[in-house]
Amino acid sequence: PRVLGWHRKGWHLQGCPLSSQVLAYNRHTFATVSQRLIVTVIPAPGGDPPFQGEFLVGNRNVEELLPAVAREMFLQASAGVWERGDLQVINVTSALDRGGRVPLPIEGRKEGVYVKVGSHSPFSPCLSSAASPQSRFRCSLGQQPLASCYDTFAPHFSIRWCNLTLSQVWPSPTTLGPVWGSGVLEDDGDFQPPTEVPPQDFLPGFLVTLLVPLVVAALLCLLLGHLMCCRREGV
């Protein structure tokens, strides 16, 4: 099955349960199914990894990389080129959601999957060279990118190295939320407004609002009476 989307009910806070409705369909029978999931949002142990790399897997669909076994196999292959062992999968996205085209149903072609992996360790020289401007220039010419290491993803995962994206994300300072009180106003005497409002005279505005329509109505009545009574034939 392929996930079509999800619908969130209400707001969520860190550590509070989140209710989501997931809608999926079977790509062979086109039957749809809906299921509601309860997800609890908790912070990642050790914080979010600052070094993140996104790989485009060309020979997989998104549902093939959702199981834990497939993601663990991908992490082991990523550790070979990253030269680090503290890797974790951050996000798995179908290439169709990034503007990719639906493949033809021949030769077992796949949609493609973007897999974002994070680590607390810096990028390896192999990844840095594959995402360098020189490598981007070679990709624009239709040539192979610069990769100075052995591709440990093969043969299970076909990585499109020209679509490799490396980013360094630093944690943003957390802002304190509103402090909720008891809901009872403290007894500090009479309430004093923050600013004093000078007294205003509303009589002129009231007279203008009332008299102007009355004068207009009286003039219309006189005009109508003059036309109906004084402009008749023989008068």
pLDDT class of 4 with cuts at 50, 70, 90: very low
Mean pLDDT of 32-52: 78
- The pLDDT of residue 176: 58
Dist. CA 82–CA 150, nearest whole Å = 11
Among residues of the chain, what percentage have pLDDT more than 90? 14
Write down the residue that tokens 């944690």 correspond to. 171
Which is more confidently placed, 24 or 7?
A: 24
Distance of CA 94 to the CA centre of its chain: 15
Token readout for 85 is 């062992």
Write down the residue that tokens 């973007």 correspond to. 114
Residue 235 has pLDDT above 90, yes or no: no
Q: Are 89 and 115 in contact (CB under 8 A)?
A: yes
- The pLDDT of residue 34: 85
Q: Are 160 and 60 in contact (CB under 8 A)?
A: no
Q: Are 185 and 88 in contact (CB under 8 A)?
A: no
- The pLDDT of residue 213: 92
The 10s digit of each residue's pLDDT in 96-116 is 888 878 777 777 788 889 999
- The pLDDT of residue 187: 66
Cβ burial of 119 (10 Å; 0-12, 13-18, 19+) is: buried
Instruction: Collapse the DSSP code of 11 into the 3-class scheme (helix H, G, I; strand E, B; otherwise coil) and give the result.
Output: coil
Token readout for 133 is 């401007």
Mean pLDDT of 3-23: 56
Mean pLDDT of 119-135: 88
- The pLDDT of residue 26: 80
Instruction: Collapse the DSSP code of 53 into the 3-class scheme (helix H, G, I; strand E, B; otherwise coil) and give the result.
Output: strand
Residue 174 has pLDDT above 60, yes or no: no
Q: Which of 121-125, 134-138, 151-155, 163-167 has the lowest mean pLDDT?
A: 151-155
Mean pLDDT of 201-215: 88
Q: Cβ neighbours of residue 228 under 8 Å, at least 6 residues apart? A: none
Dist. CA 67–CA 74, nearest whole Å = 11
pTM score of the predicted model: 0.59
3-state helix, strand, coil in the chain (%, to 5): 30, 20, 50
